[in-house]
Amino acid sequence: MIPLQFEFVTPQFFWLFLLLPVAVAWYLWKRNKWTASVKISSLKGFKSGSNLKAKLYPVLLLLRLVAISLLIIAMARPRTVDVTSKIKKTEGIDIVMAIDISASMLARDIKPTRLEALKKVATEFVMGRPNDRIGVVIYAGESYTQTPLTIDKRVVVNGLANIQYTDAIEGGTAIGMGLATSVNRLKDSPSEGRVVILLTDGVNNSGFIDPKIATELAVEFGIKVYTIGLGTTGMAMAPVAINPNGSFQYASIPVEIDEVLLKEIADATGGLYFRAGSNTKLEAIYDEISKLEKTEIEETQFTSYDEKFRPFALFAGLFLLIELLLRFTVYRSFI
């Protein structure tokens, strides 16, 4: 609902107010010609005291000026505008975010780590899609559904917050498994828009489903896949071993991302491939995907106008009538 607005349809009539000072000046200049004067030697023979009728004579001019002012406002056509919006939300898009949680996602080339940076950006993405169902799939050497498709954003956000690297999941990077699980979550969706956002920082080196087969499944079910390669170019500080106390040993290792495969998946399904080498770039990628996959909203506006010039015109006529009645009755013979 848009707040009630007040406007003047023809505000150019307000320029007529500049004529009012001219009218007053003209009245004062001509007043001496309208009033007769008599020269006498002494006023002692006349009754002293104020003449209330004479003092109130300028009221006629005031009534005329008020009437003209009200007419000018009426000609400017004041009115209120009430705009009512009726919004019909169309069916949202179903989105599954497939997130690589292999040990390399703990690399520190993106602060504080690749995984933590992704969780922050993905959370902002989820909160910016109020009309869509969103699910989360995690994968390393195998894949699992972290959060099923749901419209409840709190569930999705909590699911993202709980994502942690764990050695309970088989090591490696099973891109085909992550994509296949995501497709499985979406294949029975009634939504016309079905999207997978597949993110990885490595190459497919695990799992029993080939990424090309998973891509064919996505194409068969009409699922679009956006792929993201996460990591800087060159070397990055990443875990290479686990200390006796459970902490990780970090060392500088080459960043290897199978960009050819990720581009093939995106091209085959009608999506796009992105490379995120920094926190800023990662945020920009999710913003761009959000703009590309818009949920259409149908909005109908109803505008009603309530004209307010009538009271001004009526009061202008009333003041003008009072002024004329006084002029031709009480002040008819007044000099």
- Cα–Cα–Cα angle for 290, 234, 162, nearest 5°? 45
pLDDT score recorded for residue 1: 44
Within a domain: 163: yes
Cα 78 to Cα 34: distance, rounded to the nearest angstrom? 38
Residues 6+ apart with CB under 8 A from 191: 91, 92, 93, 94, 133
172 and 254 inside one domain: yes
181 and 191 inside one domain: yes
Within a domain: 36: no
Within a domain: 40: no
Cα 217 to Cα 213: distance, rounded to the nearest angstrom? 6
145 and 186 inside one domain: yes
155 and 196 inside one domain: yes
Within a domain: 45: no
229 and 335 inside one domain: no
**DSSP-H helix ranges across the chain:** 19-34, 52-55, 58-75, 114-127, 153-161, 175-186, 211-220, 259-269, 279-292, 309-328
What is the residue range of 62's domain?
1-31+52-90+299-335
The total number of structural domains in the chain stands at: 2
Within a domain: 160: yes
142 and 275 inside one domain: yes
140 and 169 inside one domain: yes
Cα 138 to Cα 304: distance, rounded to the nearest angstrom? 53
Could you tell me the CATH number of the domain that includes residue 148? Answer: 3.40.50.410
76 and 161 inside one domain: no
Within a domain: 16: yes
70 and 121 inside one domain: no
251 and 127 inside one domain: yes
**250 strand-pairing partners:** 239
pLDDT score recorded for residue 335: 47
* Beta-carbon-side half-sphere exposure of residue 134 (alpha carbons within 13 Å): 26
The segments of the chain whose pLDDT lies below 50 read 1-2, 49, 334-335
Cα 287 to Cα 183: distance, rounded to the nearest angstrom? 23
Within a domain: 239: yes
Within a domain: 162: yes
Q: What are phi and psi of 79, to 5 degrees?
A: -160, 160
231 and 319 inside one domain: no
Is pTM, for the whole model, over 0.85? no
231 and 101 inside one domain: yes
